[in-house]
Structure 1
Amino acid sequence: MWSEATKIGEGRRGLMLMVVAPSGVGKTSLTRRLIADHSDLHLSISATTREPRPGEHEGRDYHFVSRETFDQMVGEDAFLEWAEVYGNRYGSPRAPIMAALERGESVLFDIDDQGARTIAAQAPGDCVLVYLLPPSLAEMSRRLHARSQDSEEVIALRIARAKDEINRWETFDYVLLNDDFDRAYADLAHIYHAERLRRARNPWIGTFVGNLRGEEI
């Protein structure tokens, strides 16, 4: 009879899912639905030195820390990656993320191309990199204009940045085209399910197979 320690799935290791896309491709909608549909997948909460914006909450949107605290964390190698953006620092705390993976939970990163590659270089076995492509730059521009959040100048910069970023598509494990939301979501969910089942992330299988071989019928 199998013990509780060898029951199916126990001891599974989580993964870090990096979903990268230019603004206007639909990344936020896809990733938030993926999290809502999977109780074992959580959004990485970054630490930042900027002040909270109206409606933001500590521990839900960000971990808000002082510049002194952030610098101390950098010195202690407490981040998987960090960057300074418009005078404020942002970083992905290492300890809670790695602890989640050990518990069998997975972490989704809302991150840029550079940050994703930085983390993947440190923990290649734990990372899955997915890049989302727009159906066209014209459609991406239309979506950016439709949401009415950016000036024409900012939209032009986002388009230019997207052209540069798209050149690195071959560095990703998967590349999805978001020309149809439901299909793109189904593909993203299938990727997550398949990666969770990788043999290397399921060390319990060895013990399970050993028990099968020794089972008396």
Structure 2
Amino acid sequence: MVRRRNATLSLTAAALLAATPLITSCGAQHPGAAAVVGGRTISVAALQTQVKQVRAAQNATDQADQMIDATSDLSRSQLNSMVFDQVLDRAAHDAGVSVTTTDVQRLEASAAQQVGGAQALRSALLQQYAVAPGQIDEFYRVQAEAQGLARHLGVDLTTQSGQAAVTKVLSSASQELRVDVNPRYGKWNTQTLTLGSASQPWLRQSAATSAPPQQITG
């Protein structure tokens, strides 16, 4: 349960966060922004790049039409993941949790072994979570970070109580970061950690264990 989706923890200092006024509209005060998280902008251009990577990967498969039809709201779901990643980064940073390249590689290798190899893993992630090949390392970085946060809290992410404990910490981090999303994509919910009408809970956006994609449930 926790998807993705960036190797270093880039965070705004708490003092600066406290001094930052509430942002009323990304579109008005931050032209070109898809969202602003802790004063940091996720640009529409960056979001479009993520979407294009996924669409290109989907179009290269025999199931292109089905995949594209199943991800008709791809921009929203990709932005959901991008915002969630920054919230998780903040929570992990506050807890003193860090992730190494070895951590990421270990999770990725374990998943690949369980599904039948790297190519099978790429196919599974693309089909089930709309993760392009170039986004896989980030996917497993987020998994590793979530697992590290859970260990810090002394909880098990495979249990409801463990998930609730991590969600509480992430919700708190989300509130501190004052997530503001461009209205065209919806509104961020700090309690469910989802964007607008997104139907997938945060646990589908990163994996709580090193299980292969098809075993991840949320």
TM tier relative to shorter chain: under 0.3
Greater helix proportion: 2
Give the TM-score of the pair, scaled to structure 2. 0.25
Greater strand proportion: 1
Give the TM-score of the pair, scaled to structure 1. 0.25
